Amino acid sequence: MNNTLLELKNISYKYKNNLILNKVNLKIYSGEKIALLGKSGSGKTTLISVLNGTIKPTQGEVKLFNKSFEELDRKQKRKITTIWQDLRLIEDLSAEQNVNCGLLAENNFYFALKNLLNISSFKMAHKYMQLCRLHKSIYDKQIRNLSGGQKQRVAIARSLIQGSDILLADEPFNNLDPKLITTIKNLLLENVDKNNIKKSPKTALVTLHRLDLLNDFDKVIGIKDGKIFFNIKRNNLKKLHLDKIY
Amino acid sequence: MNKLKLNYTSLSFLPILVCIPLGYQLINNIHFGGFKLFQELLISAFNPKIDNEIIIIVIKRLNETILIGFFSWLVSIIFGAIFGIISSNIFYKIFNIPNFFCRIIRFFLTIIRSIHEVVWGIVLMQIYGINFSLGIIAICIPYIAVNSKVFAEQLETIDYKSFESINQINAPNLSSLLTIIWNPIINTFKNFGLYRLECSIRSTVILGLFGFGGIGTSIFLSFQTLNFRELWTYLWSLAILIILSGLIFKKIKFNNINKILSILLIVVFFITILFSFSYFLYFIINNNFENFNSVTSLFKSSSDLGLLDFLKLILETIILSLLSTGIAISLPPLVIGIFNNNTSKIFIKIFAFLLRLIPTPVILLILLTFNNPSLSLAALTLGLHNAGITSKLLFTNLESQDRRNYIAMKSLGISKKTSWLLGLFSQQAKSYLAYCAYRSDIIIRETAIVGVIGSIGLGWQLQESLSSFAWQEVTIVLISYSSIAIVGELINGKIKNSLT
C-alpha cells in the first residue's frame, strides 16, 4: 500500500482566465480505492484529465511512478485507464469494435485494421461485455443506436479490457439502474474478477455524486472550486466534511 | 425612407445585375450569320444519327471515356485521401510533428488545384507529346489536390474528445490514427467519392475536346465538321452514360459491406498505389521531352508580352469569373421563382441537364453561331453551364425541404411566387449561397477553358504561349492563374465560413 503511483505537486490549471485547479497536492498509493466528491464544476473532471496526462497543468508537476509524463514510455502510460464522464466512444463503430479499441495498445496496426473491417476476433471483448451485463443482441450495434446505460457499460468494458493498474473513472455510474450500479461498482473495485480473465485495476479513483456508494472505498477526497478540502479515510468522513464542499 | 436591408435571399438575387453590362455587350455583338446553323443544331437534337458505324464508334469512344474517367477517379480518390490525411491537423497531433509541415503541404496542394485539368493537360501535351495516359495524369493532378481538401476538411470535424480518448489508450500511433480517421474517411468516400467519379467523366469529356481521346474528341470533331446529327448522337450517348451511372450509384449501398468486399477494397487500394507509383516512374523514364529542353528554358526564353497587356489579361480573367459567378448564383432561383409551376419545372430541369451535359467549349461554340466572340459571351457560357449545376442542387434541396411554411402562406392568400420566395427559398438561401461560394472557386479555374476557346483572358494567352513554346510566358500565365485562384479561394473561404 505504500508505493506512490501518482503524485500531483502544487498543481494549478487555468482555462480562459478561470482557475479550475488551485494548487492541488495529491498522492495516490498502490491499491487505494479513492472516491472523489464535489459539486458539478468543482474541478473533478479536470483533475482526472491532469492525472491521465490529457491536460498539461499550467503550474506544478504530475508524476507517475516517480517520473514526469514526458519521461514515461508508452508501456508505462498504458498503466492508466480512464472512463470519461462523456464516455468518448466512437459513434460510428459497433459496441464490440469500441470495446476492442481498448486492446489497441497491446496489438499492432494489423489488429486495428481488422477491428475496423470487422474481421478481428471479438472473444475477449465479448467476455468483458458479458461482465458488464451487456446483452448479446447489442454487440454488433452501432454506438449511436444504444441507450445511455448501454453506452456507459460499453465505455466501462473498453476501459476494463485494457487491464491497466490504475483506473480513473469520472461518474461511471451515470445512466445505470441501482442493480447494475452494484455490479459495475464491484467490477471496478474488486481485484479479482469472476470469469478468470484479467484482473480489474488495482488502484481506482472514482468521482461520485451519490454518498450511498462510498462503502467500498478506502479514502474520500473532497474538492471545491479547484481546491482539495479534505483527503481522509472513509471511516473518518463526517457531515461537516460534506458541508464544506456541498 | 427605410434603408435597403440585405439578407441571404436578396443576396441570392442581387448578382443578376451583372446581366445589365453583359446583355448590353451581347446585344451589340449579335449577328444572324449562324442562325441557320443554330436552327439545324436544334433540329438535329431530335434526329441524331443512328447507324451501325456510329454505334461502334460511340461504344469505342465511351469505353475510352469510362477508362480514363475511372482510372483518374480511382487514383485521385486514393491519393486524395492520403494527402487529405497528411494535410489534416489530427495527423500532426498524433505523430507529434510540428504543424508547420501541414501548412506547407496545404499550400502546395492549393497551388496544384488552382490550375484546371485542361491547363495541366495542354501543358503536359506540349512537353510530352500526345499520349493516352496524359489524360489520366492531367485529371489526377488537380483532382488529388481537390479531393485531399475535402478529406482534410472532414477530418477536421473529428470530435477532439474521441481523439483524446483513443490517444489516452496509448496505442501505436498508426493504430490510433487509423481508428480515429476510419469513419470520416469512409463517410467522405460514400458521400463524395461517387460524385467525383461523375466529375472525372465530365473532365475526360472536356479534355477530349482538346485531343485527349474519348467521346469529347468525337464531339469536337463532329462540331468542327458541322455534323450536328453525329454531334447529338455523341451527346445523347454521353447523357445515357451519366444517367445510368447515376442510377447505378444510387443502388450501391455501402452500409453493409461484407468482409470479403472489405478485403477486396483494401487490395484495390494497395494495388492502385503500387501501380500508380510504378507507372509514374515508367512514364518519367520512358518519355522524351519533345518540346521541352530543360527547366532553365522556363526562365531564359524571351517574352513579347508587355506588362500592360498582361494586366489587361488578368483583369479580363477576373471580370470573366465575376460575371459568370453572378449568372450561376442568380439565374436558377430567378427562373425557378418566375416559372413556378410543374410543367415549367420539368422544362427547366431538362434545360439545366443539357447545360451540365454539354461541355462549356461546345456551349461557347454554339453561342458563337449568333454572337461575336467577347468577354460577355465567354461569361455567359461559363455562367450558364454552372447555373445548370447550381440549379440541380437548388432543386434537390427545395424538394427535400419542409413545405409547411409555403402551404401556410398560400392558405393566407399570398401569391404562389411570393410564398415560394418567402416560404421555401428563403430557408435555403444561406446554404445555397455557401455552395455558390464553393462553386465560384471552380468557376475561376474554369475560365481557362473558355479562355482557350473564346480568345479571352489568360486562357487565350496560355494557348498562344504554348503554341510558340514561349515557356517563360507559360510560367507567368500559370503563376497568375494560380494567384487569382488562390486569392479567390481565400475570399470564398471567408464567405463560406460566415455562411456556415
Q: What is the pLDDT of residues B231-273, one digit of tens each?
A: 999 999 998 988 888 788 777 665 555 667 777 878 888 888 8
Residue-level pLDDT at B296:
57
Of B171, B259, B263, which has the smallest distance from its Cβ to A104's Cβ?
Answer: B171
Sorting pLDDT into bands at 50, 70 and 90, what band is B3? low
Which residue in B180, B187, B259 is closest to A119 by CB distance? B259
What is the C-alpha separation between A182 and A159, in angstroms, rounded? 18
Q: Which of A142, A8, A10 is nearest to A63 (CA)?
A: A8
Query: Of B293 and A152, which is predicted with more confidence?
Result: A152
Q: What pLDDT score was predicted for residue B256?
A: 56
How open is the CA angle B130-B135-B137, to the nearest 5 degrees?
110
Q: What is the mean pLDDT of residues B445-455?
A: 80
Least Cα separation, residue A72 to chain B (angstroms): 11
3-state secondary structure of A173: coil
Q: How confident is the model at residue A50 (pLDDT cuts 50, 70, 90)?
A: very high
- B167 CB neighbours in chain A (<8 A) are 54
User: In which band, very low, low, confident or very high, does the pLDDT at B109 lie, cut at 50, 70 and 90?
Assistant: very high
Closest CA to B216 of B206, B226, B229: B206
pLDDT average, residue stretch B468-477:
81
Name which residue leads in pLDDT, A174 or B259. A174
B225 in contact with chain A, both atoms CB, cutoff 8 A: no
B179: contact with A, CB 8 A cutoff: yes
Across the range A192-204, mean pLDDT stands at: 63
Q: Identify the band that residue B293 occupies on the pLDDT scale cut at 50, 70 and 90.
A: low
Q: Number of C-alpha atoms within 13 angstroms, CB side, residue B35?
A: 4
Q: Do domains B1-30+301-500 and B46-290 have the same CATH topology?
A: yes
Residues 119-178 of B with CB under 8 A from A: 159, 161-162, 164-172, 174-176, 178
Is A105 in contact with B168 (Cβ distance < 8 A)?
Answer: no
Whether the predicted pLDDT of A72 surpasses 90: no
CATH class of B1-30+301-500: mainly alpha
Size of interface A-B (CB pairs under 8 A): 78
Choose, out of A56, A90, A100, the residue to mutate when testing the contact with B (most B CBs < 10 Å). A90
User: How do the domains of chain B map onto residue ranges?
Assistant: 1-30+301-500, 46-290
Percent residues over pLDDT 90 in chain B = 32
User: CB neighbours of B203 closer than 8 A, spacing ≥ 6?
Assistant: B69, B72, B117, B139, B143
Contacts of A90 in chain B (CB under 8 A): 162, 166, 179-180, 183
Q: How far is B176 from chain A (nearest CA, A)?
A: 8
Candidates A88, A93, A119; nearest CB to B164: A88
Distance from CA of B392 to the nearest CA of A (A): 30
pLDDT tens digits, one per residue of B175-190: 999 999 988 888 888 7
Q: Does the pLDDT of residue B166 top 90, yes or no? A: no
User: What is the structure's pLDDT at B248?
Assistant: 81
Residues of A with a Cβ under 8 Å from any B Cβ are 52-54, 74, 77-78, 80-82, 84, 86, 88-90, 92-93, 101-102, 104-105, 107-109, 111-113, 115-119, 162
Q: Evaluate whether A143 touches A89 at the Cβ level (below 8 Å).
A: yes
The answer to whether residue B292 scores a pLDDT higher than 70 is no
For chain A, the 3-state helix, strand and coil shares in percent, each to the nearest 5, are 35, 25, 35
Selected residue of A84, A89, A109 to mutate for chain B interface (largest B Cβ count, 10 A) = A109
Q: How far is A89 from chain B (nearest CA, A)?
A: 6
Q: Mutating which of A113, A141, A164 best tests the B interface, going by the most B Cβ atoms within 10 A?
A: A113
Residue B262: closest C-alpha in chain A: A117
Give B164's contacts in chain A (Cβ within 8 Å): 54, 88
Q: Does residue B418 belong to the interface with chain A, where contact is any CB pair within 8 Å?
A: no
Average pLDDT, chain B: 86
Specify the pTM: 0.82
Q: Given CB atoms, is B266 within the 8 Å cutoff of chain A?
A: yes
Q: Which of A92, A93, A104 sits opposite B176 (nearest CB)?
A: A104
| Chain A residues closer than 8 Å to B179 by CB | 90, 101, 104, 112, 115-116
CB B263 to CB A117 under 8 A? Answer: yes
Nearest Cβ partner for B179 among A53, A74, A104: A104
Q: What is the pLDDT of residue B305?
A: 67
Using the structure block, give the residue that is written with the C-alpha cell 451535359.
B357
Q: Determine the average pLDDT of the residues in A16-23.
A: 90
pLDDT more than 90, % of chain A: 52
pLDDT at A73 over 90: no
- A contacts of B180 (beta carbons < 8 Å): 90
Q: Which of A54, A89, A111 lies closest to B168 in CB terms?
A: A54
Mean pLDDT of B314-322: 90
Nearest to A105 among B161, B169, B262 (CB): B169
Nearest by CB: B165 against A53, A88, A119: A88
pLDDT of residue A83: 93
- What is the per-residue pLDDT across B409-443, written as a single tens digit (0 to 9) for each? 888 889 888 999 988 999 888 889 888 888 888 89
Q: Do A105 and B171 touch (CB under 8 A)?
A: yes
Using pLDDT thresholds of 50, 70 and 90, give the confidence band for residue A191: low
Give the per-residue SS3 of B206-240.
HHHHCCCCCHHHHHHHHHHCCCHHHHHHHHHHHHH
pLDDT for the residue numbered B457: 81
pLDDT digits (tens, 9 = 90+) for B377-411: 999 999 999 999 999 989 988 888 888 888 988 88
Q: What CATH architecture applies to the domain B46-290?
A: Orthogonal Bundle (1.10)
* Option in A78, A82, A109 nearest B174 (CB): A109
The per-residue pLDDT for B161 is: 82
CA distance A158 to A82: 9
Distance CA(B446)–CA(B327), nearest Å, equals 14
ipTM entry? 0.85
Task: Compute the distance between CA of residue B338 and CA of residue B418 in angstroms, rounded to an integer.
Answer: 10
Residue B25 has pLDDT above 80, yes or no: yes
Residue B290 has pLDDT above 70, yes or no: no
- Biggest CA–CA distance in chain A, Å, is 56
Q: A151, A176 in Cβ contact below 8 A? A: no
Residue of A nearest to B171 (CA): A105
B233 burial via Cβ count (<10 Å: 0-12, 13-18, 19+): buried
